Amino acid sequence: MNMQTYSALALHGFRRSGENVYRPQCEHCDECVPIRVVVDAFKASRSQKRTWARNSDLQVRQVAPVYNEKHFELYKRYIATRHSSGEMAYDDPAQYTSFLTSDWAQTVFVEFWLEQKLVAVAIVDELQSGLSAVYSFFDPDLPQRSLGVYAVLWEIEEARRRKLPWVFLGYWIKDCKKMSYKAQYRPAEGFRHAIWEALDI
C-alpha cells in the first residue's frame, strides 16, 4: 500500500484505519455510505458560519504524525466523555498511535490552540484528490465552541486553499446519530452503486 494506491481506492469509497484500508460490504445492507464534501460548491450554513467566527481566535499548527503526550491526554479526556465504550477507546499509547497513523500514509496532525492551551486535534490524510478526515478529538469542557464542526470547516477551507476538489468524511449512516452529522456539510456526495452521486437528504 502507498498513497497513490490509497488515493485511487478513496475514489471508490475506501477508508483508512491505521495500516488497514477497507470498505464495508454486507450482503443485505448498504447503509454505510462513503461521503465527501464538494469543496468548491460548499456553502456554510448559518450555524457553521457562527462556529467559524466563534473560533477565529484559535491558532492552527500542522505537525508531524508522531506520538505526542499532550495529544494523547486530550484524546483520553475526549474519549472518556464521548466514546468510552466504543472501539476507538484506546488507553494505551501504542494502540492509539497505530489507530491514527500508518507507515505509508501521508498524514498530518492539525493542532488547534487557544492561547497556550491545546483544545483540539484533527488527523488528516493528504490524498491526491483531496483531504481525508481520519479522526478528530477536542476538549469536552468547551461544548459552546463546537470544535468538531470547526475542525471539518477548517479541512474544507484548507482543501480549497490547496485547490483540492473533495474532503472525504468517511462513512455516513443516515439513522446513526454519531454519523448523521456528516451530511450537514453540503453539497455532499455519496458513493452508491459504484458511482458518486449527490446526497438527497
C-alpha to C-alpha distance for 86 and 79, rounded to whole angstroms: 9
pLDDT of residue 181: 87
**Is pLDDT at 87 greater than 80 in this prediction?**
no
Number of independent structural domains in the chain: 1
Q: What does pTM read for this prediction?
A: 0.94
Average pLDDT over the chain reads: 94
Domain encompassing residue 155? 3-198
CB crowding 42-62: b at 16 or more within 10 Å, else e: bebeeebeebbeebeebeeee
pLDDT of residue 88: 56
**Is pLDDT at 201 greater than 90 in this prediction?**
no
Scan for cell 470547516, then name that residue: 153
pLDDT of residue 85: 54
Q: Which three cell numbers stand for residue 178?
A: 454519531
List strand residue ranges (DSSP E) for the chain, in order: 15-17, 20-22, 33-38, 59-63, 107-114, 117-126, 130-138, 166-172, 188-192, 195-198
**Is pLDDT at 86 greater than 60 in this prediction?**
no
Q: What is the CATH number of the domain that holds 45?
A: 3.40.630.30
Percent of the chain beyond pLDDT 90? 84
pLDDT of residue 106: 98
C-alpha to C-alpha distance for 33 and 94, rounded to whole angstroms: 30
What does the pLDDT average to over 181-197? Answer: 94
| Predicted confidence (pLDDT) per residue in 103-142, tens digit | 999 999 999 999 999 999 999 999 999 999 999 999 999 9
C-alpha to C-alpha distance for 110 and 136, rounded to whole angstroms: 9
